[in-house]
Amino acid sequence: MSSTHKRYKAEGDQVVRLKKECERCGEAVFMAEHPDRWTCGKCGYTIYKRGRKAA
Ligand SMILES: [Zn+2]
């Protein structure tokens, strides 16, 4: 009856990932973007971006 129609999202990485949700607070809370990391202003959760540099 219903044809299985798989829809693949042709999403550009830069367009979609402008905002990042906090893993602790949930999807409603967005994290602040920093040059090297993402920080949540609510719980203080920090996510480092790719290419971590050991200081
Ligand atoms: Zn948070």
Output the pLDDT for position 7.
Answer: 57
Q: 5 CA distance to ligand 1 centroid (A)?
A: 36
Q: Rounded CA gap, 50 and 36, in Å?
A: 8
Which H/E stretch holds residue 45? none
* Ion ligand 1: protein residues whose beta carbon lies under 5 Å: 22, 24-25, 40, 42-43, 45
Q: 34 CA distance to ligand 1 centroid (A)?
A: 15
pTM comes to 0.56
Q: Domain coordinates of the chain in residue numbers?
A: 18-47
Q: What is the pLDDT of residues 1-55, one digit of tens each?
A: 655 666 555 555 444 456 789 999 998 899 999 999 999 999 999 999 886 565 5
Q: Rounded CA gap, 38 and 23, in Å?
A: 11
